[in-house]
């Protein structure tokens, strides 16, 4: 089994302040998925511009001040849940159009976090879908949180990847994003950034020096989720989905430029 994460930066226009799909990428990538020869596959996708602007505006996951604030956050929750569900519908449909038997799985309907980390999720149905040959498509969402001071949390696609990998023990975990992998510093900011081919500890990239990883960027969170999988002997790869052919090659087990998270 393979878990493939499609970053929000790849399938949406992440810088847009309103939900905007990157149709060109989505079309190409879902075709590559259909053309690859994988066996069992779970697709996890990020929220990009469908989730982040709303979740931020309504400060989902921040401490609740009073009843009025709770009601506001609940409105934000409802709006965000709707937006990311719409994105999920589009991703699932694109996959299906190209011949993948996709099935949508909504995190907010069965996952509970505590302090923003997944506390419970019943995977029975996901396992059954996989056995039958479906491709479950799950995504970054807003979910209920057991901590009463926040009640709601933003659950990233990256955390879902880690949870599913822990529970389902896939052979491979592939994260597709909009850069080649993990660099010694943010490649979008620093043209001289160097790609790191193998990452095995946070120290390697988080020394606190200015020249090292920008943890405020999207990469820091990703890396710590993936490093957590090393305890279970699960390695993972970060690759660039903006490069044509990479997803297909990676799914087929061919070598692709990127970063491997391994010991
Ligand atoms: P996705 O939406 O694909 O999950 P993110 O946008 O959250 O991905 O994270 C990818 C982004 O992280 C890259 O576009 C890059 O700008 C940023 N980033 C910050 N620091 C680094 C780094 N050291 N190496 C690679 N990317 C980095």
Residue 219 Cβ inside 6 Å of ligand 1? The answer reads yes
Residue 187 Cβ inside 6 Å of ligand 1? The answer reads yes
* List of the chain residues with pLDDT < 50: 207-212, 214-216
How many angstroms is it from 45 CA to the middle of ligand 1? 15
3-state class of 77 per DSSP?
Answer: helix
111-114 vs 117-121, strand pairing mode: antiparallel
Asked if 153 contacts 60 with a C-beta cutoff of 8 angstroms, the reply is yes
Strand partners, 141: 155
Cα dihedral sign for 130, 134, 135, 140? negative
Supply the pLDDT for residue 17.
82
Residue 221 Cβ inside 6 Å of ligand 1? The answer reads no
What pTM value is reported for the model?
Answer: 0.95
Residue 177 Cβ inside 6 Å of ligand 1? The answer reads yes
Closest residue to atom 20 of ligand 1, CA basis: 186
Using N-to-C axis directions, what is the helix angle for 67-97 and 23-35, rounded to 10°? 50
Q: How far apart are CA 11 and CA 47, in angstroms?
A: 9
Looking at residue 88, which CATH number applies to its domain? 3.40.1160.10
Residue 213 Cβ inside 6 Å of ligand 1? The answer reads yes
How many angstroms is it from 179 CA to the middle of ligand 1? 7
Query: How many structural domains are present in the chain?
Result: 1
Supply the pLDDT for residue 216.
44
Q: Which domain holds residue 16?
A: 2-261
Supply the pLDDT for residue 131.
97
Cα dihedral sign for 5, 10, 11, 13? positive
Residue 186 Cβ inside 6 Å of ligand 1? The answer reads yes
Q: How far apart are CA 115 and CA 153, in angstroms?
A: 8
Residue 80 Cβ inside 6 Å of ligand 1? The answer reads no
Residue 237 Cβ inside 6 Å of ligand 1? The answer reads no
State which ligand 1 atom lies nearest to the alpha carbon of 196. 24
How many angstroms is it from 20 CA to the middle of ligand 1? 19
Residue 228 burial by Cβ neighbours in a 10 Å radius (0-12, 13-18, 19+): middle
How many angstroms is it from 25 CA to the middle of ligand 1? 17
Supply the pLDDT for residue 206.
53
For 16-43, write each residue's pLDDT tens digit. Answer: 889 999 999 999 999 999 999 878 999 9
Supply the pLDDT for residue 211.
44
Task: State which of 216, 218, 243 you would mutate to test the pocket of ligand 1, scoring each by most atoms of that ligand within 8 A of its C-beta.
Answer: 218
Asked if 122 contacts 27 with a C-beta cutoff of 8 angstroms, the reply is no
């Amino acid at each position: 089994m393979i878990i493939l994460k499609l970053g929000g930066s790849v399938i949406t226009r992440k810088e847009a302040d309103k939900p905007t799909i990157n149709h060109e990428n989505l079309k190409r990538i879902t075709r590559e998925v259909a053309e690859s020869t994988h066996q069992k596959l779970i697709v996890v996708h990020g929220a990009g511009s469908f989730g982040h602007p709303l979740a931020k505006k309504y400060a989902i996951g921040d401490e609740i001040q009073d009843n009025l604030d709770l009601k506001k956050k609940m409105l934000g929750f409802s709006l965000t849940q709707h937006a990311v569900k719409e994105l999920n519908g589009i991703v699932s449909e694109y996959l299906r159009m190209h011949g993948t038997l996709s099935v949508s799985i909504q995190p907010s309907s069965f996952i509970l976090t505590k302090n923003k980390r997944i506390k419970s999720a019943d995977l029975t149905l996901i396992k059954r879908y996989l056995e039958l040959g479906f491709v479950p498509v799950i995504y970054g969402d807003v979910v209920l949180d057991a901590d009463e001071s926040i009640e709601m949390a933003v659950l990233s696609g990256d955390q879902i990847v880690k949870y599913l990998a822990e529970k389902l023990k896939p052979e491979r975990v592939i994260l597709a994003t909009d850069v080649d992998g993990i660099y010694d510093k943010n490649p979008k900011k620093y043209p001289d950034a160097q790609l790191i081919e193998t990452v095995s500890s946070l120290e390697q990239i988080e020394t606190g020096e200015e020249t090292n990883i920008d943890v405020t960027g999207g990469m820091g969170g990703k890396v710590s989720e993936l490093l957590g999988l090393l305890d279970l002997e699960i390695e993972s790869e970060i690759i660039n989905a903006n490069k044509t052919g990479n997803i297909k090659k990676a799914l087929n087990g061919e070598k692709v430029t990127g970063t491997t998270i391994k010991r």
